[in-house]
Amino acid sequence: MRAMSDPVEILCSDPEIAADAMARRVVELVTRPTGLTSTGYPYFQRRTFEQFRDTVPYLFAGGARLLDALVRIQETAARLDLEEETRKNLERGCRVARQITRTAAITAPTDLWLLRHVLGVHAQLGITDRLLRGEAIHPEFCRVDEGDERTQLDAEQLSIDMHFLLARGLVEQYDEAYRIAGHRRVRKLLMAIEPIPEDEPVPATPLWKELFDGELSDDDAGRLTRLACEVPEPGMGVDQTHWVPTLDTVWVGYLLVPLVLAMRACGLTEDRNAGEVLSPEELSQVRPDVAALGIRILRAAGWLTRRDGVHRVTRLGERGFGRGPGPFGIIQTYHPYLKQGRRILEEGRGGVWVRRGQNIGASQDANRKTFQRANDALDAFCEKTGFGYEVFIEHAIGRGEATRQRFERSGEESIRYFGADLEDAAIDAAEQQQQKGRLPQNMIFVRRADIGEPGRLIEALQQEGVDPRGAVMLVGNGFHEVRDQSDDKMAQVFRGYHDAGILLLFTEENALSIDDLRATAWNTYHAGFKYVHEKSGQCLRPASPRPRPRLGPPLRAAWSECAKEAGYVRADEFCTRTRTIYPYPRRDGHNPSISVNHFFVPSDIASRLGLV
C-alpha cells in the first residue's frame, strides 16, 4: 500500500474506522503531535486537550464507546502502512485519551451525585429561579422567602455551594456575586432540576443492599423502581460543544454512586473484567425484576453493554468496578450534609456531623497505594540515612492499612505498633483486623485520639513506657479533618508532634484552585472532595505555596508552610506524589498533583542525620 502523508486520511480510509462514528470523531485529535515528560508519560499539547475536553463526550456511555474506539484505532494502525514515528505518536495520543477517560469514570460520578443534591436544595429555596432570571447571587446578602418572612441565608455555606457550582462551570463569578453561566446546557439543566422528593431514599445504598441480600420489602422495591425509572438511555452522540454536565449525566451519576457502593458492600464489584456477563439474576435471585433496573443504570453509565442478548462488562466498567468504590464511598459518607442542605443554608452547619465509621472501607480502598508509597519512602529513608525506629504509629487508622503493610515488611520483633483514632468505629474495625492476624498482636490502640490534639497520643505512649522521640507516625488523609483550623492552629498541631520528636509521614489531597478545576474538567474528583470537606468544617491545603487564583477564594497556607513553622524539616527526596492534573505542560510550570505523600523530620533529628 502506498503511504499517504496524512495519518487521519489513512486511518479513516479503513472500513472499520469509517463505520465507527466515535473513532472518526477522535482520530484527528489523537494523531496530533504529542510529547513525553521527563518521567516518560505522554501528554497532549494544550490546544489538543482543550478541544478533546470540550468536544468529545467521554463521560459514561460516551467514555465506553471512546475506549473501544481507541482500541480500534490502534489495531487498525498496526495493520496499515504508517511511518514508525507516526505510529508511536498515535500510541501516545491514544494513551492520553484513554487515561483522561478512565479518570473521568472515577471522578465524575461523585461530582454529579453532589450536583443533584445541591441544585435540588437551590431549586427548593428559589435560588435557581433567580439565576435563571439573570439575577446575581450575593452570598452575603442572599435572602429567601419563608412564608411571610424573608430569611437571610448563611453566607459561608452559600459561598461553599457557589464555589462548587463555579468549579463545575454552572455559574460565573462577578466580584463577590455569581450569575448563571452562558452555555445553553447550563440553562437546560437548571430548568429541569427539581427538589428531591421527601420520600426518595437518600442515599439509596441501603435499599440496593437489601435487594442484593434478598431482604427487600415490596414497599422499598417500589421506591427503588420509582427512583431508577429516571435513568436515561445510553447516549449515542459523538459531538458536544462544552464539558459542563447535562441533565442526563447528572442523573446517571446520582443513580450510579449508591448502586455501586451497595454492590461493593455485597462483594459484587470484585474482579469484574471486561467481557464478563452480569445478569439481573446474579444481582438478585429473589427480585431480578428490580435488579434489572440496576443493570439499566450500569448500561447508562457505560459500565455494561448489551451484546448477543446478554449484558457484558465494558472496558470502562472494569475500571469503574475496580477503582470506583473507594472515592464513591468517601464522598457519600457526607450525605448527612446533603440531606440537611436546606437547614444548613438557613441556619449554618450547627450540629451536623459525619461519622467516619461508614467511611472506613472506602478510605482503605482509596489509600492502599499511597500507603505503599509512604512505606517505600520510609524504607528508603532508613537505608540512606541510617535512621532506625522502634515505634510505628498509624493515626486516623481506619482498618490499619498502613500498619498492615509495615507489619508484612518488618514483623513485630523490633517494632512496637500503635493505632489511634477519634472514633470508636475505626478502632473497632482495626481490632477486628488484629484478631484476624492482619495486624500485629503487640499493637496497642488509642481511642478518642483527636489528631488535632497531639497530647492525647503522646500521653498514651508515655503511659505505655514509650518515649515518642524518634517514633514514626503515618497518616492517610487525616490532618485535613482537624476542625475549624486556621493556619496558626495547624502549625500549633504540627508543633505538638514536632516537639515530641515524632517523624510525620502523611498523605493529603492537594488543594486545587477553581482555576485548575475548571481548566482540567473531570480530570480529578477534587471539586466534590473539596466541597464535602468544606461543608463539614474540615479544610484542604495545597502541598506547597500557591499564588492567589483568579476565581474563588485564595488557598490556605500550604502543608509545607505549616510544618516548617512548627520546626519540621521537609525531606524532599522522600516525598512522593501522584499524577499531575494537567495532561499538557503549562508555560508557567504550574501542574499540581492530585495528592502528595509528605515526609517531615523533627529539626534536631534532621540535623543529626545531615539533612540540614
What's the Cα-to-Cα distance from 184 to each of 56, 126, 243, rounded to whole Å?
Answer: 17, 20, 12
Beta strands in 443-487 (DSSP E): 444-446, 472-476
- Boundary-marking domain end, from 72, 104, 136: 104
pLDDT for res 2: 41
In this structure, what C-alpha cell is assigned to residue 523?
480530570
DSSP letter at 140? G
Task: Name the residue with higher pLDDT: 360 or 512.
Answer: 512
Mention every residue, 6+ apart, whose C-beta is less than 8 A from residue 76: 11, 14, 16, 17
In a domain, 2, yes or no: no
In a domain, 577, yes or no: yes
Tell me what percent of the residues of the chain surpass a pLDDT of 90: 80
Cis peptide upstream of residue 203 (ω within 30 degrees of 0): yes
Tell me if 469 sits within 8 A of 497, measured CB to CB.
no
In a domain, 1, yes or no: no
- Boundary-marking domain end, from 104, 130, 161: 104
Tens-place pLDDT, residues 192-248? 999 999 889 999 999 999 999 999 999 999 999 998 887 888 877 888 999 999 999
Tens-place pLDDT, residues 404-457? 999 999 998 899 999 999 989 889 999 999 999 999 999 999 999 999 999 999
Query: 79 with 195, same domain?
Result: no
Task: Name the residue with higher pLDDT: 523 or 363.
Answer: 523
Tell me if 77 sits within 8 A of 11, measured CB to CB.
yes
Q: Using CA atoms, how far apart are residues 242 and 564, in angstroms rounded to an integer?
A: 42
pLDDT for res 1: 41
Tell me if 398 sits within 8 A of 430, measured CB to CB.
yes
Query: 573 with 452, same domain?
Result: yes
Number of domain units in the chain: 3
Query: 126 with 55, same domain?
Result: no
DSSP letter at 357? G
Query: 145 with 213, same domain?
Result: yes
Q: Using CA atoms, how far apart are residues 127 and 144, in angstroms rounded to an integer?
A: 8
Tens-place pLDDT, residues 260-319? 999 999 999 999 999 999 999 999 999 999 999 999 999 999 999 998 889 999 999 999
- How high does pLDDT run on average in the chain? 92
Domain of residue 204: give its range: 109-351
Q: Specify the residue for cell string 472515577.
A: 106
Residue among 446, 452, 398 at smallest CA distance from 425: 398
Query: 390 with 533, same domain?
Result: yes
In a domain, 384, yes or no: yes
Residue among 340, 359, 336 at smallest CA distance from 348: 340
Tens-place pLDDT, residues 485-507? 899 999 999 999 999 999 999 99
Query: 377 with 452, same domain?
Result: yes
Query: 248 with 266, same domain?
Result: yes
In a domain, 65, yes or no: yes
Q: What is the pTM of this model?
A: 0.91
